[in-house]
Amino acid sequence: MEHDLFEHEQQIYDYAVNRTIEVLRKSAHFDFKEYITIAKEYGKLLKQLRRATRIADRTTTNLHESNLDLIDKVHNDTLTGIYNRLYMEDSLRRIIKSMARSGGQLSVMMVDVDNFKKYNDTYGHSKGDVCLKLVAETLMASVARADDFVARYGGEEFAVILPDTDESGARRIADNMLENIKASNIPHEKNEIAGHVTISIGITTGDVVRTQSGADYIKCADEALYISKRNGRNRYTFIDFKEEKA
């Protein structure tokens, strides 16, 4: 469509120029009516070209916005707006691959909202959704660096990925999360630990090598989370990373 438009425009332009040169060379009487007709046709084509360009620009913009929206839907959790499990797993693979070349320590946390089923039973699922959003926002506010991120792992469980973070750094962030959740003071009357929402955290840290997998780190952090729950919740537990052997 656009090719035909440009080709037609070029033909009219070439004819007008050649005809003018021919008339002038022969010193013949110049037909202004013919020239005006050509000029009007040329003007119409220019308007069509501008209209087609505007449509193309809008289409390009709409496609770009649609692609961004699609990326958001693929990467982000629909409820909380933070990253989802798929993004976390893909990112963890890339992080391990990159850090295996450069060296460094990776820390991973698993975070669970304590007694969340009782929260839903007491306040209803819509309030439960609000609670998860507030917890997600609080966890996000507790990590400082651009490379650190929080993802919703599923249900009331979250994963926290901390590249280039050692054990002491991970412990500091876990302390921040516990304090910030406490300061949020989200009411939870059926929570046996406190009258507000609390969280349990499991942490693992390891020196990154290429044979490791993200699933290994998640499994290890999940084991630490289980210990936190078993020991009374509203706390964190740290265990050294242990790579699963095939």
Alpha-carbon separation of residue 232 from 114, 147, 215, 223, 228 (angstroms): 10, 31, 26, 15, 7
For the chain, give every domain's residue range.
2-75, 85-240
| pLDDT of amino acid 69 | 52
The pLDDT tens digits of the residues spanning 90-149 come to: 999 999 999 999 999 999 999 999 999 999 999 999 999 999 999 999 999 999 798 999
Instruction: Please name every residue paired with 196 in a beta bridge, in sequence order, or none if there are none.
Output: 187
* Per-residue pLDDT at 1 exceeds 50: no
CATH number belonging to domain 85-240: 3.30.70.270
The pLDDT tens digits of the residues spanning 161-202 come to: 999 999 999 999 999 999 999 999 999 999 999 999 999 999
Alpha-carbon separation of residue 136 from 29, 150, 237 (angstroms): 82, 8, 20
* Per-residue pLDDT at 89 exceeds 50: yes
The pLDDT tens digits of the residues spanning 32-67 come to: 566 667 767 766 776 777 777 777 777 766 655 555
Interior/surface letters 18-52, b for 16+ CB within 10 angstroms, e for the rest:
eeeeeeeeeeeeeeeeeeeebeeeeeebeeeeeee
Put simply, whether the predicted model's pTM sits higher than 0.75 gets the answer no
Catalytic positions are 156
Tell me how far apart the alpha carbons of residues 36 and 33 are, in angstroms, rounded to a whole number.
5
